Structure 1
Amino acid sequence: MTSHQNYAPQGTGHPLAAYGWTGEREADFAPFAAAGLVPGRVARVDLGRCDVVVPDPSGAGVHTVRAETAPVLDPDPVNCPCTGDWAAVDPGSRGPVALAALLPRSTALVRNSAGSASDGQALAVNVDAVLIASSLAAKPDLGRIERCLALAWESGAQPVVVLTKADVARDRSHADDVQAAAPGVTVLVVSAVSGEGMDLLRACLPGTTALIGPSGAGKSTLTNALAGAEVMAVGETRERDEKGRHTTTARELIAVPGGVIIDTPGLRSVGLYGGDGLERTFADVEALAAECRYHDCAHDAEPQCAVKAAIEDGLLPARRLVSYNKLLRENERIAARSDARLAAERARQGKHRWKLMKAESGKPRP
């Protein structure tokens, strides 16, 4: 790799502009440019290494380099390199190519890690929109869609729900149920096979889009259609329940006309990671709750409960309140575990400081 002057950002004409490079990114990168580092965007992360898209030394176009991630690893997994990160790359003139630093993130799609730990897992970062895919070939899982919406709102990106496989839809009225579960969110019915709704979808995807959903939802087929090429492997789904195999094994950034897509493996579980995403996901419930007689109304047996009244009048599906309460309790448990972890860390640090103080006090005075 040649010296960094061949990679100097050139504003809108910069080779990484198609990958989301902006004037703000250029300003963030300025100190690293002065140090002779190269800007790049993380396209895929494996154990200890990642693929990074960087400007080509020729000054035209881009190419992908394999870089070490060790220099920027963080004790908090949320802060470790993730697909979508902007990075300062050491070209490796005196060693292997490596990430030297990560630039500040504008958004981060984070879920709670599997198991009882309270650690988070970043699914994609620096995204403008989160595309939540669900197949119309089977009855959509509204609870899962609501969970994904909470993650998307919490990330700071704009959620869009896309109902795929419209060409084999068994009941299109399910789209109305999904819209009721996604107030204020664009819900599109599309088919990557027939092309139905695809132009409208393309118009709704600015910049960088993260694509999430269960296996079998047609995410890879959708990515191929948006890219206009077979860039992702496509697996078969079981006819009886439309569940599919994990054809996407890692989060991967794919260039498409007008921006980039971050395709993700099918999510078996969607654990929330706290935050206020629930407030926007259940904006209808929150608005009704503000009209209840009591500010701490549990929407159960309290008098003059606006939420229960809306359910009785058919204005709010009863399952919405059930789902809201379930996710609210889950968020409270996550917050409690996080607080316990922080308290344990503070206690550990306190014991360490006490040991140091005792050691210092036992030393003979000069």
Structure 2
Amino acid sequence: MSTDYAALRTMGWPAARPDQLPADWTAVLQDHPDTAIGRVVEQHRSGYVVATGPDETAAVDSLPDWQKPRCPPEQRACVGDWVLLKVLDLHRPQIVAMLPRRNVIKRAAAGEHFKQQLIAANIDVVFVVVGLDLDFNARRLERYLMLVGAADRIVVLFTKADKQQVAADVFATVQQQLESQGISWHALNAKDSTAVSVMSQYLHEGITAVLVGSSGVGKSTLTNALIGEQRMRTNEVRSHDSRGKHTTTYRHLIPLGNGACLIDTPGMRELKPTGDEELGTTFDDVESLAAQCKFRDCRHVAEPGCAIRAALERGELDPARMENYRKLQGEIRRAQDQQAVRLEQQAQAKVLTKPVNKRQKSKYER
């Protein structure tokens, strides 16, 4: 298999020339000669769909290790990953290696057992889509901003601006908080192609963007507007609460024709942290106040000299925002504890299986 670098450039390939690649990418490419580079555009339970160009996609087999039940999800490829392909034994192409990720957007999977669910990898811009209708929730927006903090750039798109149902003072407060964090935002009507064109300033050659947000906020409508055709199915939201239904059922990457790529994702109902998140960007105002407290280990409850309690009493800090900060802080700590337990269990399992593997090897060497 061969690699068409010009075609890869239209799939978001970050380097115009081979000598511009990161050193760790170059090392992996040198370790796997005679392979083709592709990008994961769809991930399914039975395998992957990988593109080697804007109009060249194929179903491929994954690495055998990824198919093992105990393989952690974060070690497998996801949409947006760059992989190396090779045809083995005259079968369809197989992934033989994955290039190191620059970043990854993820959340903790639903359920009692700690697992990570990868949303998308190698992302330059995250568009967090929020509807200005009855389903608007400032606390949910804070949670999204926490989860996508690993991205190079975050832009918030407030859709349904033509039928805004959010109080002006509430919206103004959210805008001010975003601006204080250096996060760009735009209010628009997703069905108005002229309004959607504001997104083009973030989408140029070599850029990969992802749309995240709840069901019904207009992610698929935005995608259709950007690609210029009704490729993505859309549904109307419920009238009494503006809640939407899942129209996008899996994540997939779409070339936009100008060298940029867009990943559309299903609406996420559960936004659980993995333990790797930091709250400093999303809640920089809260953490800045906490640094001014008299005591370093201040719990912001009844301690003297607490800057956060003083700000709450003066009305300078929203109590609901502070409560959400506490809640997310607790969730991150619990996720970190669960992650530590899982890593310890994995380490113990490796130690226990070593003697078994050694005995089996010696048995067949006799």
TM-score bracket, normalised by the shorter chain, equals 0.7 to 0.9
2:189 to 185, 188, 191: 191
Structure 2 CA distance, aligned partners of 1:291 and 1:103? 43
Corresponding pairs, count: 345
Q: Following TM superposition, by how much is the alpha carbon of 1:228 offset from its aligned partner in structure 2, in angstroms?
A: 1.8
Note if 1:24 corresponds to 2:25. no
Q: Following TM superposition, by how much is the alpha carbon of 1:62 offset from its aligned partner in structure 2, in angstroms?
A: 4.0
**Residue correspondence of structure 1 range 1-366 to structure 2 within 5 A:** 3-4=1-2, 7-9=3-5, 14-21=6-13, 22=15, 23-24=20-21, 27=26, 30-31=29-30, 35-55=33-53, 62-71=55-64, 73=66, 75-91=71-87, 94-153=90-149, 155-171=150-166, 173=168, 174-182=170-178, 183-195=181-193, 197-205=195-203, 207-258=207-258, 259-352=260-353
Identity of aligned residues (%): 31
Runs of 4+ in 1 over 6 A off after TM superposition: 354-357
User: Higher mean Cα deviation, 120-129 or 338-347?
Assistant: 338-347
2:279 aligned counterpart, secondary structure: helix
| Counterpart code for 1:24 | L
Where do 5+ consecutive residues of structure 1 fail to align? 56-60, 360-366
| Counterpart code for 1:111 | R
Q: Is the 8 A contact 2:135 2:243 kept in 1?
A: no
The aligned counterpart of 1:362 is: none
1:280 aligned counterpart, secondary structure: coil
Q: Is the 8 A contact 2:127 2:154 kept in 1?
A: yes
1:122 aligned counterpart, secondary structure: strand
Q: Judging changes above 3 Å, is the alpha-carbon distance between structure 1 residues 323 and 245 closer, same or farther for their aligned structure 2 residues? A: same
Q: Is the 8 A contact 1:29 1:39 kept in 2?
A: no
Q: Following TM superposition, by how much is the alpha carbon of 1:353 offset from its aligned partner in structure 2, in angstroms?
A: 5.5
Structure 1 CA distance, aligned partners of 2:357 and 2:61? 35
Q: Deviations over 1:268-327 (max 9, x none)?
A: 101111124312111110111111111111111111111121222222211111000000
Where do 5+ consecutive residues of structure 2 fail to align? 360-366
Q: Following TM superposition, by how much is the alpha carbon of 1:89 offset from its aligned partner in structure 2, in angstroms?
A: 1.4
Q: Following TM superposition, by how much is the alpha carbon of 1:144 offset from its aligned partner in structure 2, in angstroms?
A: 1.4
Q: Is the 8 A contact 1:190 1:196 kept in 2?
A: no
- Structure scoring higher RCO (CA < 8 A, sep ≥ 6) equals 2
Structure 1 CA distance, aligned partners of 2:277 and 2:267? 24
TM-score normalised by L of structure 1:
0.86
Q: Is the 8 A contact 2:122 2:208 kept in 1?
A: yes
Q: Judging changes above 3 Å, is the alpha-carbon distance between structure 1 residues 354 and 42 closer, same or farther for their aligned structure 2 residues? A: closer
Q: Following TM superposition, by how much is the alpha carbon of 1:345 offset from its aligned partner in structure 2, in angstroms?
A: 2.9
1:281 aligned counterpart, secondary structure: coil
What value does the CA root-mean-square deviation take over the aligned residues? Answer: 2.5
Q: Is the 8 A contact 1:133 1:161 kept in 2?
A: yes
Q: Is the 8 A contact 1:108 1:126 kept in 2?
A: yes
User: Higher mean Cα deviation, 256-265 or 119-128?
Assistant: 256-265
Structure 2 CA distance, aligned partners of 1:233 and 1:64? 21
